[in-house]
Amino acid sequence: MFYTLKEKHPIPFFLSACRRLEGKGKKENDSIERIGKMADSAYLSKIAGPVVEATSIRGSQINELVRVGSDQLMGEIVALKEDRATIQVYEDTSGLRPGEKVERTEQPLSVELGPGLLSGIFDGIQRPLDRIKEMAGDYIPRGIDVPALNRKKKWTFKASVKKGDSVKAGDVLGTVKEFDFEHRILVPYGFEGAVSDVRDGEFTVTQSIASVGKKDVTMMQKWGVRTPRKSKEKLRIDRPLITGKRIVDTFFPIAKGGVAAIPGPFGSGKTVTQQDLAKYADADLIVYVGCGERGNEMTDVLFEFPKLLDPKNKKPLMNRTVLIANTSNMPVAAREASIYTGITIAEYYRDMGYDVALMADSTSRWAEAMREISGRMEEMPGEEGYPAYLAKRLAEFYERAGRVRCLGTKDRFGSVSVIGAVSPPGGDISEPVSQSTLRVTKVFWALDADLSRRRHYPAIHWLKSYSLYLDDLEKWYLENVASDFYQIRGQCMALLQKEAELQNIVQLIGPDALPDKERLVLEVTKMIREDFLQQNSFEEIDVYSSLKKQHLMLKTILKFYDKAEQALKMDVTLDRVLLAKERQVIAGLKRLKDEETVKAANGAMKSLETSFGKGEKK
Ligand code: ADP
């Protein structure tokens, strides 16, 4: 539905009122200007779905938060032209009428940061869904205003500074225990000076816990979501975010502070992969943004996440997770807000010196929202109707990932790693969202519908995926895992590529036409695929492999290959080579615990070395 002031209200009531007030001969624009001044608030002149236009708004800025209509819906100014503001509204706009009031807040769209975020489930504009449910039931009433952080709950604050200490932004003032997590309360940005008052005790998030440079500090801070939080320095990428997923850690690693894209056609294992990453990645905290996915998928997340246990301590995973849930039946504009809310919360924990992993599922839905809003704003469309600034927006979001030296006197390091799911229609990644995402992300885990149909999980395709962090991480892997890690990885990758070439030939002339040497390659790559790359998320041991185990598994497979090749040269038949008992051991390694893997793998390698192929003749 598209209303304009002209169509629906040829002489809007406030204009006619204005004319009466101002006398004859005044121009229409002039009148609007005056009524604006009188009422000091603007009025709705046009409503187009989630995009509305307000007239006679003055002194405001792009990205200012406004309250729209009598229900006080949350909106954000996205364009300004003279006294007309275009506003994207984060709540359902049906029923709004031209002439309703628009109030300025003189603040950007902001999030509340402080104790109480962990284990929280928020919507795109950081309203706590559980507390809304308590207040209003299953449906979110429009314009409901519930603060993100509970104002009544008291937290035990333990000061780490004392009166007289000199502090600056980013220094740790004290800590609060939230579950098992040490929530560090930092001197907010813009504060500096001597601590004139600080005490241990029980405080709510809005009570003063200290006084710095004569200004009161509370545990809660507010931060505009579109402004990246400050840090001293962005650091070079140099260590992996270990996930325990063999194909990820060994073949396509993501770095701490890195960015990865994961395109997920339906049923390809996107949800399982992301839950595994949330559970097992060596991040201290997880921020999960469910951005406009189909309602039932988000419901799955909302039901599933609270049930998941942290494998490290068997306590609820939610104790170190913040969920932002924004389903497709929520207004489209809120999708964008949810992405920015999520990344700002992630940066907040990064600033405390933690490693945070943010998962956004799915950035395609956000891009679709941008397309819709841009269309409503009658902007010039770019490729496939997406706005021309699509790539820039996506890049700005992913650029907020990184490993940083945090603000503050003492050195502290933190990181935000971002894993963005993309859902290209029909799995075709030539479309603009996938392409713009690929340009800014450095890791691409290509979930493949064909592999998932064959129940090869995780369905990340080894020939279609890549990681551009390999060079940055090489030193770390060689020093911390094994000096031949990259060599083994390279050898296996080369074999997998060779397999693809051989498969083409096999399709034409059948496997029997290949010489034994090449049939052996196919057998070995089958071992790499089935015994290494396939990893069952529902098996307790298999779901997570340490890097040492990953290395040993591949090393044993390559040992078999080496010895089998030698045996073939000594005229042993391939069929006999394939009967080797060591192959059984290799196939079983994934189900063994670390210590058992070492024993079994070393045993297999030893017997391959000493006895394999001996005495066998064609
Ligand atoms: P998507 O979210 O992409 O629609 P899911 O993550 O729900 O797909 O995966 C679909 C199904 O595939 C799961 O229910 C599960 O049976 C299977 N699956 C996916 N990944 C794995 C895995 N790593 N290990 C075992 N099964 C898996």
Per residue in 429-464, pLDDT (tens digit) is 888 888 889 899 999 999 998 999 999 999 999 999
For the chain, percent of residues with pLDDT exceeding 90:
52
* CATH code for position 99: 2.40.30.20
241 and 98 belong to one structural domain: no
Nearest to 574 by CA among 526, 613, 527, 530: 613
pLDDT at 25: 33
pLDDT at 294: 64
Nearest CA to ligand 1 atom 6: 269
pLDDT at 18: 32
* Cα-to-centroid distance, 451 and ligand 1 (Å): 11
Q: Is 277 within 8 Å of 357 (Cβ atoms)?
A: yes
Ligand 1 atom showing the smallest separation from residue 270 Cα? 3
* Cα-to-centroid distance, 262 and ligand 1 (Å): 14
528 and 459 belong to one structural domain: no
426 and 513 belong to one structural domain: no
Mean pLDDT of 555-574: 91
pLDDT at 215: 92
Ligand 1 atom showing the smallest separation from residue 274 Cα? 6
* Cα-to-centroid distance, 534 and ligand 1 (Å): 12
pLDDT at 509: 86
* Cα-to-centroid distance, 503 and ligand 1 (Å): 27
The reply to whether ligand 1 has any atom less than 6 angstroms from the CB of 449 is no
pLDDT at 114: 95
- Any idea how long the chain is? 618
Band of the pLDDT at 15, cuts 50, 70, 90?
Answer: very low
Final residue of a structural domain among 53, 80, 109 = 109
Could you report the per-residue pLDDT of 479-528, keeping only the tens digit for each? 999 999 999 999 999 999 999 999 998 888 887 888 999 999 999 999 99
Could you report the per-residue pLDDT of 93-130, keeping only the tens digit for each? 888 899 999 999 888 989 999 999 999 999 888 888 87
Q: Is 309 within 8 Å of 97 (Cβ atoms)?
A: no
* Cα-to-centroid distance, 456 and ligand 1 (Å): 10
The number of folded domains in the chain is 4
* CB neighbour list of residue 215: distance below 8 Å, 6 or more residues apart: 191
Q: Name residue, tokens 């004859």.
A: 24
Mutate which of 296, 451, 457 for ligand 1 pocket (most atoms within 8 A of beta carbon)? 457
Q: Distance between CA atoms of 546 and 601, rounded to whole angstroms?
A: 14
Ligand 1 atom showing the smallest separation from residue 536 Cα? 24
510 and 464 belong to one structural domain: no
Q: Is residue 515 part of a domain?
A: yes
Band of the pLDDT at 329, cuts 50, 70, 90?
Answer: low
Mean pLDDT, all residues of the chain: 86
Distance of CA 386 to the CA centre of its chain: 22
Ligand 1 atom showing the smallest separation from residue 458 Cα? 23
Nearest CA to ligand 1 atom 15: 269
Other C-beta atoms within 10 Å of 74: how many?
25
β-strands 121-122, 2-4 pairing: unpaired
> Does position 379 have pLDDT exceeding 80, yes or no?
yes
Final residue of a structural domain among 60, 88, 109 = 109
The reply to whether ligand 1 has any atom less than 6 angstroms from the CB of 270 is yes
Q: Is residue 6 part of a domain?
A: no
pLDDT at 62: 86
Q: Is residue 491 part of a domain?
A: yes
pLDDT at 267: 79
Q: Is residue 27 part of a domain?
A: no
211 and 241 belong to one structural domain: no
453 and 494 belong to one structural domain: no
Mean pLDDT of 156-182: 94
The reply to whether ligand 1 has any atom less than 6 angstroms from the CB of 607 is no
Nearest to 587 by CA among 529, 504, 500: 529
> Does position 413 have pLDDT exceeding 90, yes or no?
yes
> Does position 385 have pLDDT exceeding 80, yes or no?
yes
pLDDT at 520: 94
> Which neighbouring-strand residues pair with 288?
323, 359
Q: Is residue 58 part of a domain?
A: yes
> Does position 33 have pLDDT exceeding 90, yes or no?
no
* CATH code for position 175: 2.40.50.100
Q: Is residue 158 part of a domain?
A: yes
Residue 493 tokens, joined: 């990758």
pLDDT at 3: 36
463 and 531 belong to one structural domain: no
> Does position 10 have pLDDT exceeding 50, yes or no?
no
Nearest CA to ligand 1 atom 19: 269
> Does position 162 have pLDDT exceeding 80, yes or no?
yes
Q: Is residue 516 part of a domain?
A: yes
Nearest CA to ligand 1 atom 21: 457
* Cα-to-centroid distance, 570 and ligand 1 (Å): 44
Mean pLDDT of 353-360: 95
Residue 251 tokens, joined: 């073949």
- Of 101-115, 235-249, 267-281, 336-350, the range with the lowest mean pLDDT is 267-281
Q: Is residue 589 part of a domain?
A: yes
Alpha-carbon torsion 424, 438, 501, 268, what sign?
A: negative
* Cα-to-centroid distance, 264 and ligand 1 (Å): 11
Band of the pLDDT at 40, cuts 50, 70, 90?
Answer: low
The reply to whether ligand 1 has any atom less than 6 angstroms from the CB of 264 is yes
Q: Is 436 within 8 Å of 375 (Cβ atoms)?
A: no
Q: Distance between CA atoms of 276 and 255, rounded to whole angstroms?
A: 17
Q: Is 71 within 8 Å of 97 (Cβ atoms)?
A: no
> Which neighbouring-strand residues pair with 444?
261, 466
For the chain, percent of residues with pLDDT exceeding 70:
89
pLDDT at 615: 52
Mutate which of 268, 270, 272 for ligand 1 pocket (most atoms within 8 A of beta carbon)? 272
Nearest CA to ligand 1 atom 13: 269
Could you report the per-residue pLDDT of 188-228, keeping only the tens digit for each? 999 999 999 998 999 999 999 999 988 999 999 999 999 99
8-state DSSP, 383: G
Could you report the per-residue pLDDT of 531-542, keeping only the tens digit for each? 999 999 999 899
Q: Is 316 within 8 Å of 121 (Cβ atoms)?
A: no
Mean pLDDT of 313-321: 90
* CATH code for position 265: 3.40.50.300
pLDDT at 368: 86
* Cα-to-centroid distance, 452 and ligand 1 (Å): 8
The reply to whether ligand 1 has any atom less than 6 angstroms from the CB of 457 is yes
* Cα-to-centroid distance, 454 and ligand 1 (Å): 12
Q: Is 325 within 8 Å of 129 (Cβ atoms)?
A: yes
DSSP 55-68: ES--S--TTEEEEE
* Cα-to-centroid distance, 550 and ligand 1 (Å): 22
β-strands 42-48, 2-4 pairing: antiparallel
* Cα-to-centroid distance, 460 and ligand 1 (Å): 12
Q: What angle do CA 269, 273, 277 make, to 5 degrees?
A: 175
pLDDT at 355: 97
> Which neighbouring-strand residues pair with 87?
52, 77
98 and 200 belong to one structural domain: no
Nearest CA to ligand 1 atom 20: 269
446 and 578 belong to one structural domain: no
356 and 260 belong to one structural domain: yes
pLDDT at 21: 30
* Cα-to-centroid distance, 267 and ligand 1 (Å): 6
* CB neighbour list of residue 141: distance below 8 Å, 6 or more residues apart: none
Band of the pLDDT at 361, cuts 50, 70, 90?
Answer: confident
* Cα-to-centroid distance, 150 and ligand 1 (Å): 36
* CB neighbour list of residue 335: distance below 8 Å, 6 or more residues apart: 124, 291, 292, 326, 365, 366, 369
Q: Name residue, tokens 């187009």.
A: 48
Mean pLDDT of 299-303: 75
Q: Distance between CA atoms of 534 and 72, rounded to whole angstroms?
A: 52
The reply to whether ligand 1 has any atom less than 6 angstroms from the CB of 458 is yes
- pTM to 2 decimals? 0.88
* Cα-to-centroid distance, 100 and ligand 1 (Å): 48
Other C-beta atoms within 10 Å of 501: how many?
11
Nearest CA to ligand 1 atom 12: 269
* Cα-to-centroid distance, 583 and ligand 1 (Å): 28
Residue 470 tokens, joined: 């390999």
457 and 489 belong to one structural domain: no
Could you report the per-residue pLDDT of 78-90, keeping only the tens digit for each? 888 888 899 988 8
The whole domain housing 90 covers 41-109
Nearest CA to ligand 1 atom 17: 269
167 and 243 belong to one structural domain: no
Final residue of a structural domain among 169, 195, 219 = 219
